[in-house]
Amino acid sequence: MANKTKQWSAGDLFIPGLGMALAVYYLYTVRGLAPLAQLYGGGLSLICIALFLAAVIMVIRHRKNDSAGGFKKLNSLAAVHKKFIVMTVLTALFIVIIPIIGYPLASVLFVASTTIFLKYGNPLRVMKVSVIVTLVGFVLFIIFLNVDLPLDAVTEKLKGVL
């Protein structure tokens, strides 16, 4: 559940801000539609905008002095959430390369790069883990559950044989 938060920081406006941006875009896309088509989402959008304004008021009235809790200053963002940022980038790269080099190879590269980044151990250990995780995924999803993931030429042949 959410942490108990009595004070608000500027970082706490990120989520309501995102909500408000979506609400404005939503209202833009439903403009001109029949009233019934606008009713539900339009109503929610207006509530989201009102809640964003309420959050702004809360930040102004109850602003934290030390800004602990929410995102601190923008310039310290990378330092505080370094692991999160790198993991996000690696995951994005993983998704990008799946259709290019196929799932098995992409998975080996992804697991290897994340475990190296997380300092799991020596290269042999990293390689072992990467191969095992990929093998489990390959057997479970592609062989057993017949998931139609992009494959490279070698694993495509292997799948056909199995």
Partner 1 sequence: MWEMTLASLNEILGYWWLIPLGVGLGIFVGAVPGFSSTNVLIILLPFTLGMESGAGMAFMASLYSGSHMGGSIPAVLFNVPGTGAAAATCFDGYPMTQQGRGQEALAIAFAASAIGGLFTTMITLGALPYLSKMVYYFGSIENFVIILFGVALIAQITGGSMLKGLIAGMFGLLLGAVGYDHVYSVPRATFGLVYLFDGMPRVPAIVGLFAISEAFSMVEKNMIIDASKLSDALKEGWQGTKRGLVITLKKMGAVIRSSLIGFVVGIIPGAGATIGSFVSYQQAMSFSKDKEQFGKGAPEGVIASEAANNGLTSGSLIPLLTLGIPGGGTAAVMLVVLQAHGVPIGPRLFQVMPQLAYGVVVAMLVAYIVMIIMGVPLAKSLAKMSFFPTKVLAPAIISFTLIGSFVARGYLFDMWIALFFGVLGYILKRTGYSPHAVLLGVILGPLAEQYFLRALLLGNGNPAILFSRPLGNFLWVLLVLSMVLPALLARFRNRKTVQ
Least separation, in Å, of the C-beta of 60 and partner 1? 14
Least separation, in Å, of the C-beta of 153 and partner 1? 19
Q: Which is nearer to partner 1, 81 or 159 (CB)?
A: 81
Residue 96 and residue 46: Cα distance in Å, rounded?
Answer: 36
- Per-residue mark of binding to partner 1, 2-41 (x: CB under 8 A): xxxxx----xx-xxx-xx--xx-xx--xx--xxxxx-xxx
Binder of partner 1 out of 56, 64, 69, 97 (CB under 8 A): 69
Binder of partner 1 out of 61, 119, 122, 160 (CB under 8 A): 119
Q: Which is nearer to partner 1, 101 or 133 (CB)?
A: 133
CA distances from 8 to 25, 60, 129 (A): 26, 8, 42
Least separation, in Å, of the C-beta of 13 and partner 1? 9
What would the two tokens of residue 158 be?
Answer: 């292997």
Binder of partner 1 out of 129, 131, 158, 159 (CB under 8 A): 129
**Torsion over CA: 142, 148, 152, 157 (sign):** positive
From 72, 32, 96, 11, select the one nearest 109 (Cα to Cα). Answer: 96
Residue pointed to by tokens 């942490």: 3
Q: Which is nearer to partner 1, 40 or 162 (CB)?
A: 40
Q: Is 59 a binder of partner 1 (CB under 8 A)?
A: no
What would the two tokens of residue 146 be?
Answer: 């017949």
Residues 74-113 that bind partner 1 (CB under 8 A): 81, 83-84, 87-88, 91-92, 94-95, 98-99, 103, 107, 110-111
SS (H, E, C) 18-81: HHHHHHHHHHHHHCCCCHHHHHHHHHHHHHHHHHHHHHHHHHHHCECCCCCCCCCCHHHHHHHC
